[in-house]
Structure 1
Amino acid sequence: MSSLMTRGNLFDDLFRDLAPAFYVRPLHGDPLPSPAQIKVDVKEDDRAYTVQAEIPGVNKDDINVSIDGNLVTLRAEIKQEDRKTEGEKVLRTERYYGAVARSFQLAQDIDASQAKAKYENGILTLTLPKKAANNAQRLTIE
């Protein structure tokens, strides 16, 4: 995703030169986030991991969490656009779409059937219970 051009420079320069009085900075004109921009805090206790990830400005329906053993993947689709209301003349419109994903491994496998996710105020909180450890048994040698 790093090869995507940011829309800011090309169009901002054009509009600044052609119509400086009409230039208005967009509300969400930042480039799409990189995976490293999903900030993650991971805490652990005896029974579970708690993960908090910053994913602001994304609809909760556009967030996908997958668990495969001890691998956790967070994926968010970003859909932002400026909207036109009736009776307005559009001077400039900007919209962008994209996706960002981040994966990380935990020290122990996760019980995916008991995992829970909550999204509130741009923070995704995951409660990831640890799978019961398979207790190794020592065989008696006869």
Structure 2
Amino acid sequence: MENTHQSKSKLAPKNWLKHEEEQHSPVADRRKPLFSLIRMRDDMDRLFDQAFGGIQFPNLFDDTDFFAGTTGMLSPSIDIAERKDSYVITAEVPGVEENDLKLSLEQDSLVISGEKRSEHEDKKDDKVHRVERSYGHFRRVLTLPADARVEDVSARFKNGVLTVTIGRDLTQASSQRQIKIEKG
């Protein structure tokens, strides 16, 4: 039975996020252990939701204001697929307007950036019980492989999903070659 997620054997070992990992801001590095704790708490919440059928447990930490405006909290999820003649990158950007998205090529990187704006107007009479949605600027930097054709890039935005297709130069697709071994 095949799972809806790609099997690990189908995942390519290319390091698409090399430049993004290099560009951590000092603020994000200083708080990295806290991000890990919050990520772990979110994973535990999902585990309890699956085990107990969605019963709401109290949130022990209120982190909505603590991390406001820091790098890394608003980061669109991406999928990267390799085809014979192209790479297809999909990014989930729900709630982001098309005119708030920016896609650019910078040296050997594809940069997806934009802003998710809050559509909620603060009203003095509102009593907010919980805030889980994130707003603000985001930026994803994807390092392109050597066989990516930067002159052959197209993008489409539909229903909160950005799809970027990058052609491949099949002459560079294989960096593997046989080396002849000479006798003695």
Quick check: TM above 0.5?
Answer: yes
| Residue aligned with 2:136, SS | strand
| Gapped regions of structure 2 (runs ≥ 5) | 1-26, 32-62, 129-133, 173-184
CA contact (8 A) 2:92 2:160 kept: yes
Q: Which residue of 2 aligns with 1:108?
A: 146
Per the normalisation by structure 1, the TM-score is 0.57
| Distance in structure 2 (CA, Å) of the matches to 1:133 and 1:61 | 36
Per the normalisation by structure 2, the TM-score is 0.46
Amino acid at match of 1:102: R
Amino acid at match of 1:75: S
Amino acid at match of 2:93: I
| Residue aligned with 2:99, SS | helix
60, 67, 84: which one pairs with 1:46? Answer: 84
CA drift at 1:71: 1.3
Over 3 Å counting, the alpha-carbon distance change for 1:79 and 1:93 in structure 2 is farther
- The structure whose Rg is larger is 1
Pairwise CA RMSD:
3.5
Q: How many residues align?
A: 107
- Note the 1:45-124 alignment, pairs <5 A: 45-83=83-121, 90-92=124-126, 98-124=136-162
- Say yes or no: does 1:126 pair with 2:168: no
| Distance in structure 2 (CA, Å) of the matches to 1:114 and 1:93 | 50
Amino acid at match of 2:64: T
CA contact (8 A) 1:48 1:129 kept: yes
Over 3 Å counting, the alpha-carbon distance change for 1:36 and 1:46 in structure 2 is farther
Q: Percent identity over the alignment?
A: 24
CA contact (8 A) 1:44 1:50 kept: yes
Q: Which residue of 2 aligns with 1:16?
A: none
CA drift at 1:34: 2.9
| Distance in structure 2 (CA, Å) of the matches to 1:42 and 1:35 | 21
Structure with bigger strand share is 1
